[in-house]
Amino acid sequence: MEKNQLKSLLTDMSLSEKAGQLLQIHGRWFLEGGYEPSTGPALEFEITEEQAYSAGSVLNETGAANLKKLQDKIMSRQPHRIPALFMADVIHGYKTAFPVPIALGCGFDPGLIERISAAAAKEASAAGLHVTFAPMADLVRDPRWGRCMESTGEDPWLNARYAESAVNGFQGADLKEKGKIAACVKHFAAYGAAEAGRDYNSAEVSERTLFEDYLASYRAAVKAGAALAMTAFNAIGRIPCTANERLMRGILRGDMGFDGVLISDYNAIEETITHGVSVDKREAALKAIKAGCDIDMMSDCYIHNLERLVTDGIIPESLVDEAVMRVLELKNKLGLFENPYKGASAEDEHEFILCEEHKRLSREAAAECITLLKNGGMLPLPIKGKKIAVIGPLADSKEILGTWAIFADRGRVVTLRQALEELYPEAEISFAVSGGLDEAAGAAADADAVIILLGEDESFTGESRSRADISLPEGQKELFDAVYRANKKIITVLLGGRPLAIPETAEKSEAVIMAWLPGTYGMYSLADIIFGKINPSGKLSMSFPYCSGQLPMSYNALNTGRPKPKGDGFNLYFSNYLDVPNEPLYPFGHGLSYTEFEYSDIRLSSGVLTAGKPLTASVTVRNAGKTAGKESVLLYIRDLKASVARPIRELRGVKKVFIPAGGEAEVSFEITEETLRFYDINMEYKSEPGEFTVWIGDKDMNFSLRDD
Ligand code: BGC
């Protein structure tokens, strides 16, 4: 449709039709038996059938045949036959689940994220979906928050790369293209800063930290062209985001230039009443529409109040028109006026969903993300000649995808047991997966090597799954101890969607692997890592603390006026704890390989950088071991003195390279004046001349930034 046709459509619509376009209801509403809320406080959703069929979008319903039928039904009830948007959470895969985003962060490979998102879009689009509620770009520094699983972790720069790559993968160059769906960056803003890691809790972040750290990834997604954004449940600075005009109109639309559709989170408009800033649904609707929120997801605030707010003269109709126009424009960009079913196709569902290519990608992704945290030399295991005991219920559990893999086919999940039996039939492996202490101890006593699976199944992470204590779940320490008493040759494999506090378990284990929630076929890659067919290359995108008391934490902290002097032990009147170290057990960027990578000194093209003359920092990375492998080469920067305190180091570049045994790779990064920008004392985003340190691997060097 041409822009003028969209305009005349809008002009021709009644006010109640317009309000309908701004309503999103759950697909189940249209099923026989009516609607039952799936998440959140019980809703009294009082809408008439007519209002339901006026909805501009439908949530979490899927399937090509089903959605084609639903589209016909909705369009036939609309005076202007406007097609509905079908939106759903396709976070890390549709039916084929890929590793959870926190794991994908450890892959340090934006290109991989783009390919995964494209694969997810292909499956979802065939199933009739038009929009995914992804990427979740929330920065998180507190693993008590269960939703850290949906984020790439604690680093703003890495999160920004994740967010933009996901948007590119989902959307491609043109939303009308086959297999592409619109991306919705969420949750705006700082949802991941929930105090004490308790979901939905308020965030207290300074303006500078908000702009510099928390907004970076949303900004990157917007720049990449995310068609939608979602508001956050939380309040920042005591203002619920969904009712925050400065945040939405000022920062998101104004500063960042977002011109897409802004949707509330589930029932978030109504929840401004419980936050205590709206007296009733009418005021909630008023605040949200004024703040710039276009679609009301799963509350009836807009549908019951927008019309009257206009006819009572409280808001101009143009405010509603503006929101409706954005919804119509999105439908137009997706080509729905020409083809309301978009990619929905039973044949394509059959061809793409869980296809061989996606299976391979799921394995590849897990291979890139699984992170070797400790290896005293036991890994990799020889395929023959050792009796291996695999212990723990998680070794044969299919609950290893993540709670946001809502459409994933759990029947297809390959467990570690299945993967080992299928790929390594010649290995001598016994399984003790009941969780019983005697069974576990017996199997361990009889083995030359023990692999114990600990950590969290998928039910521990995701929305609302916060934990105050992120040590091993109940009963697992006892299981580990029973095994340890019987055999000390232990390889601990951890599963889960968050870093865990496991200092004692790690100490007592010969080797530790973080396998995260690896996706439908990820366990094949874990099996290959165990036997050395794959050389692990994951590096942590989120620190593993010693204990929950250290939280929140992140590597890119400020120095403080009294940083702890180097060395072990407590230092009085310095910034440290009496009882635990300041450092994490395993820091951001930590991850081992079966080979050794040696870094040369850094070579700088010049010791001085100016705005017109960027510099290049290069290293030679040598694979000094006997095994080929991949290395994520990370570049960090520190601004040694500025008008505001700057982090002790910040990631500014990543290159993942494959290096054959004995081989070398030249790795170069460009450092520009832009790389060195930050929010200065006046909240202006700029660099300041002075001295900087650059690190690549374990090497560092200084350079200066000067005015041109
Ligand atoms: C979550 C969102 C999600 C939405 C729709 C909410 O509870 O916070 O991330 O997109 O539900 O399922």
Distance CA 129, CA 342 (A): 8
Distance CA 195, CA 495 (A): 25
Tokens 């759903």 identify what position? 88
Query: Span 618-629, mean pLDDT?
Result: 98
CA dist 179 to 123, 134, 242, Å? 7, 16, 31
pLDDT at position 9 over 90: yes
Query: Span 485-497, mean pLDDT?
Result: 98
Quote the ligand 1 centre to 625 CA distance (angstroms): 46
Quote the ligand 1 centre to 299 CA distance (angstroms): 13
The residues lining ligand 1, judged by C-beta closer than 6 Å to any ligand atom, are 39, 60, 89, 133, 186, 265-266, 463
pLDDT at position 61 over 50: yes
CA atoms within 13 A on the CB side of 313: 0
Looking at residue 46, what is its pLDDT? 76
| pLDDT tens, position by position, 357-412 | 999 999 999 999 999 999 999 999 999 999 999 999 999 999 999 999 999 999 99
DSSP for 623-645, please give it.
Answer: E-SSS-EEEEEEEEEEESS-SS-
pLDDT at position 481 over 80: yes
CB atoms within 10 A of CB 239: 18
CB atoms within 10 A of CB 209: 17
Looking at residue 42, what is its pLDDT? 41
DSSP for 227-260, please give it.
Answer: SEEEE-SSEETTEEGGG-HIIIIIIIIIIT---S
| pLDDT tens, position by position, 519-561 | 999 999 999 999 999 999 999 999 999 999 999 999 999 999 9
Under a CB-based contact definition with an 8 Å cutoff, are residues 495 and 455 in contact?
Answer: yes
Quote the ligand 1 centre to 556 CA distance (angstroms): 29
Looking at residue 558, what is its pLDDT? 98
Going by CA atoms, what residue is nearest to atom 6 of ligand 1? Answer: 266
Looking at residue 44, what is its pLDDT? 62
Distance CA 375, CA 506 (A): 10
Quote the ligand 1 centre to 168 CA distance (angstroms): 21
What percent of the residues of the chain are helix, what percent strand, and what percent coil, each to the nearest 5? 35, 20, 45
Q: Which helix (H) or strand (E) holds 131?
A: strand 131-132
Looking at residue 140, what is its pLDDT? 98
Q: What tokens does 165 get?
A: 């790559």
Choose among 492, 503, 505, 590: nearest CA to 542.
590
| pLDDT tens, position by position, 206-215 | 999 999 999 9
Going by CA atoms, what residue is nearest to atom 11 of ligand 1? Answer: 266
Q: Which helix (H) or strand (E) holds 116?
A: helix 110-126
Query: Quick one: pLDDT band at residue 48, thresholds 50, 70, 90?
Result: confident
| pLDDT tens, position by position, 634-691 | 999 999 999 999 999 999 999 999 999 999 999 999 999 999 999 999 999 999 999 9
* 262 phi/psi in degrees, rounded to 5: -105, 120
Is 265 considered catalytic here?
yes
Cis peptide before 189 (omega within 30 of 0): yes
| pLDDT tens, position by position, 302-347 | 999 999 999 999 999 999 999 999 999 999 999 999 999 999 999 9
DSSP at 572: T
Choose among 655, 648, 627, 644: nearest CA to 693.
648
Under a CB-based contact definition with an 8 Å cutoff, are residues 332 and 262 in contact?
Answer: no
CA dist 67 to 61, 342, 358, Å? 7, 10, 23
Distance CA 435, CA 585 (A): 27
Q: To the nearest whole percent, how much of the chain has pLDDT over 70?
A: 98
Q: What's the one-letter identity of residue 545?
A: P
Query: Quick one: pLDDT band at residue 37, thresholds 50, 70, 90?
Result: very low
Q: What tokens does 88 get?
A: 């759903």
Looking at residue 30, what is its pLDDT? 84
Distance CA 247, CA 240 (A): 10
Give the 3-state DSSP-derived string for 298-321, with helices as H, strands as E and coil as C.
CCCHHHHHHHHHHHCCCCCHHHHH
pLDDT at position 39 over 70: no
Cβ-proximal residues to 306 (8 Å cutoff; 6+ apart), any chain: 15, 18, 19, 22, 285, 289, 315, 320
Query: Quick one: pLDDT band at residue 293, thresholds 50, 70, 90?
Result: very high
Going by CA atoms, what residue is nearest to atom 7 of ligand 1? Answer: 266
Pairing state between β 511-514 and 597-599: unpaired
Looking at residue 122, what is its pLDDT? 98
User: Average pLDDT over the chain, rounded to whole?
Assistant: 96
Cβ-proximal residues to 394 (8 Å cutoff; 6+ apart), any chain: 400, 416, 453, 454, 455, 457, 495
Query: Span 83-111, mean pLDDT?
Result: 98
Cα dihedral 67, 73, 74, 80 sign: positive
Q: Give the number of the atom of ligand 1 that is nearest the alpha carbon of residue 186.
A: 9
Cβ-proximal residues to 27 (8 Å cutoff; 6+ apart), any chain: 58, 59, 60, 61, 62, 70, 86
- The residue to mutate among 38, 89, 129, having the most atoms of ligand 1 within 8 angstroms of its beta carbon, is 89
* Burial of 129 from C-beta contacts in 10 A (0-12 / 13-18 / 19+): buried
- The residue to mutate among 265, 267, 464, having the most atoms of ligand 1 within 8 angstroms of its beta carbon, is 265
Q: What tokens does 91 get?
A: 């976070």
Cβ-proximal residues to 207 (8 Å cutoff; 6+ apart), any chain: 683
Quote the ligand 1 centre to 92 CA distance (angstroms): 14
Pairing state between β 511-514 and 371-375: antiparallel
- The residue to mutate among 39, 59, 464, having the most atoms of ligand 1 within 8 angstroms of its beta carbon, is 39
Q: Give the number of the atom of ligand 1 that is nearest the alpha carbon of residue 406.
A: 12
Under a CB-based contact definition with an 8 Å cutoff, are residues 499 and 395 in contact?
Answer: no
Q: Which residue out of 142, 265, 296, 639 is catalytically annotated?
A: 265
Distance CA 67, CA 81 (A): 16
Query: Span 479-504, mean pLDDT?
Result: 98
CB atoms within 10 A of CB 314: 15
Distance CA 564, CA 425 (A): 52
Under a CB-based contact definition with an 8 Å cutoff, are residues 213 and 156 in contact?
Answer: yes
Under a CB-based contact definition with an 8 Å cutoff, are residues 580 and 550 in contact?
Answer: yes
Going by CA atoms, what residue is nearest to atom 8 of ligand 1? Answer: 265
Query: Span 196-215, mean pLDDT?
Result: 98
Q: Give the number of the atom of ligand 1 that is nearest the alpha carbon of residue 40.
A: 7
| pLDDT tens, position by position, 577-613 | 999 999 999 999 999 999 999 999 999 999 999 999 9
Strand partners, 637: 650, 694
pLDDT at position 455 over 60: yes
Quote the ligand 1 centre to 293 CA distance (angstroms): 16
Q: What tokens does 157 get?
A: 């720069």
